[in-house]
Amino acid sequence: MMAQRLLIGLAGLMGAAGVALAAAAAHGADASRLASASAMLLFHATAILGVTSLLARGLLHGGIGLIGAFGFVIGAALFAGDLTLRQYAGHSLFPMAAPTGGMVMIAGWLAVSVAAAAARK
């Protein structure tokens, strides 16, 4: 229950950051990186809310579903953080941060699939 509340709070922060980055992308010159960062944050914030709802209804295996949702948080933070830092600071978070974040998000989606297959209901 505590992990689900944490995820909901993180999803809210991700959603707010996604909207802020979308606004920055709309008003900035050559801000396509920010638009991509915004999209990943907004999509995965919504996915986290969906996963927590499915977990609460018992439609996903609890542990595996939580791993998938936290993968969304970590992956989106790496991806969006790297692109945002490149836009504003001119350097990356660390080498291969955005692709690593993308792979973590993909792994999160696969974990959600496994969590659905492994659910008891």
Q: Each residue of 95-119: pLDDT tens digit?
A: 999 999 999 999 999 999 999 999 9
Q: What is the pLDDT of residue 51?
A: 98
Give one DSSP letter per residue of 8-77, joined into a string.
HHHHHHHHHHHHHHHHHHHHSTT-HHHHHHHHHHHHHHHHHHHHHHHHHTT-S-HHHHHHHHHHHHHHHH
Q: What is the pLDDT of residue 6?
A: 98
Query: How far is Cα 87 from Cα 90, in angstroms, rounded to an integer?
Result: 6
121 band by pLDDT with thresholds 50, 70 and 90: low
pTM to 2 decimal places: 0.95
Q: Where are the domains of the chain?
A: 2-117
